[in-house]
Structure 1
């Protein structure tokens, strides 16, 4: 399995819903986390996007030279830029990092934030736009000159002359819990990424995506995004879980859920329902307490290293190969998880990539002959 960590580009700390012990997302702190993940053997880090985050492409570019093996799973909203420009960003990051760039596609569920970016598409239209966007994106990175006319995306003569290090293009992760999201994932993307729910719910989603992909003659890989709280004893782990939310009160929960209720994301609806279920322990060692006030991934695996490893193996038995983990605070927990959990799991340690891009044989009218190795 490939294990990723999370880069908290919106800030960090030991508690959610509180400024006690809060740490800003300074370049030095983010570098600490990235270098720790690199040294500890994580496959990569998920770099989130949104108006509360430092820009994911910029952060990844800044940290690529500070790491050796770490991959950067860069979250991006395809509605916020052109596919050709996004392809240039992807190619440059991939080339200059030596092939250490992946993309996590986020169609977005908050209409207010999307409107601030000038995006007024409804739920299904955003998925349709993403499908058109990445048809152009993939063609451009594969070295094609692309003409495309769709409902949402139109380009003529789109191309990019510097191919990425990973051919034909970097790996594309995609999440979506609605039937529309499953359909788009099955046809256009490489890894389907789900937030952690009880096993039967995740099994049902994977089965649906796999059946849809079969109809296109495609095979996807699968990933899981979840927080982890690992301690020597189960009692210590649950104490640590409760400590994370000790400053969360009813007014904070109500305010957060009023925001979540305006989202049209089926995944967020599912996370919110779990947090409102009355019993936050929704399955063995699976806790929905994070989702009381945090949007997005709202569940955590809680227990001893062996208990958490056993639960991860159960998800792995469903066909999941990539696990995107996180914990509060992210620097200390990166060490704790790697030191206590990795020895119990078949973790694939990444090799140091070759820092080389293909030689390009052309003369640009705007510069000299590019000869890169």
Structure 2
């Protein structure tokens, strides 16, 4: 089974530990971060979506011209354009980039960011809309003849996309709610989860597999997200992790310009299932399995705004990722706290170990289910 790595195609270097000092979208930084990932063993970069950020498709088009092989994952929210228009956008970008585009559909996890662009649809209904949107994209990319569609959210009358690319773009989605899993199982090529302990993750995969079977499909390719904190030794990695935690707590600014979320009011519960699960996980303890660490999920008001971390030596984190490979995961979505520097370190030292482990599985992976004390 091939294993791939997806990094950040962001427009500025800001993170929870690095304040924004320049523009929110710096084309030169986008070029540099994409090239760094391409040169150091990564397979994909993600261009995120937020109401106040750059157009991910335009950023990806710029990055495509500055790169050669890296795959372009382009986030998109169904509320911002008609699916027929989006089909043309992604088809054109896919063709001009040499077949490197996957559209990542986001139902929308934060009501305030949806409302900023006039979208007041409730959460479950947003997934219903996403499913209809995805089906229209797939039909537009593959139909040879004009088709007509009349659904709850969209209409098309004798539409045909004559400018179809030679191969269709990929389609990914994600989430943790039952409806998110149902929709992803029905329409997505790739389904993305946030990093949870192995047992909980295996349960999510089991649910997804059942929904895919009910939809008459095979299981989508599985992706999972973490924040890697790595070093040459475990002790050095944990020292780095505690320093990162201190920097996050010192800033206490909540989400930053490079993320597609916004601060929540203190004391308010997370709005989406993925963040609620992360909040419950963090409350259950800081350390799980080989290397999973939860303090990185906390943002403003103590609410989750980020993914869990994997902390350890290059070998430890590689083995932790191989535990998820054993669960069927093929794509790892990862970003550090110093975006380019961490991408280079991880690409040079951890990615080769994971590839080697996939090629020659080790009995060491059997230790991955062990739960570390908090």
CA shift for structure 1 position 178:
0.8
Within-5 A mapping of 1:347-358:
none
| Separation in 1, partners of 2:199, 2:26 | 40
Tell me what 2:114 maps to.
114
Tell me what 2:153 maps to.
152
Stretch moving more, 150-159 or 98-107: 150-159
Contact residue 170 and residue 189 of structure 2 kept, 8 A = yes
Distance 1:250 1:6, change over 3 A: closer
Tell me what 1:8 maps to.
10
Contact residue 269 and residue 276 of structure 2 kept, 8 A = no
Within-5 A mapping of 1:132-211:
132-143=132-143, 144-166=145-167, 169-211=168-210
Within-5 A mapping of 1:54-65:
54-65=54-65
The CA deviation string for residues 200-255 of structure 1, in whole angstroms up to 9 with x for no partner, is 11111111011111122211211111111110111111111122232334993899
TM-score, normalised by the number of residues in structure 1? 0.85
The CA deviation string for residues 123-156 of structure 1, in whole angstroms up to 9 with x for no partner, is 1110110111111111111134221111122221
Tell me what 2:277 maps to.
270
Distance 1:72 1:48, change over 3 A: same
**Which of 337, 350, 363 is equivalent to 2:346?**
337
The CA deviation string for residues 40-78 of structure 1, in whole angstroms up to 9 with x for no partner, is 221110111112432211110011011000111111111
Structure 1 residues without counterparts, runs of 5 or longer: 349-373
Tell me what 2:296 maps to.
290
Tell me what 1:300 maps to.
309
- Any idea what SS the aligned residue of 1:181 has? helix
Within-5 A mapping of 1:87-102:
87-102=87-102
Contact residue 17 and residue 337 of structure 2 kept, 8 A = no
Contact residue 83 and residue 136 of structure 1 kept, 8 A = yes
- Any idea what SS the aligned residue of 2:247 has? coil
CA shift for structure 1 position 283:
3.5
Contact residue 289 and residue 298 of structure 1 kept, 8 A = no
Structure 2 residues without counterparts, runs of 5 or longer: 256-262, 358-374
| Separation in 1, partners of 2:198, 2:66 | 37
| Separation in 2, partners of 1:259, 1:138 | 41
What is the root-mean-square deviation in Å for CA atoms of aligned residues? 2.4
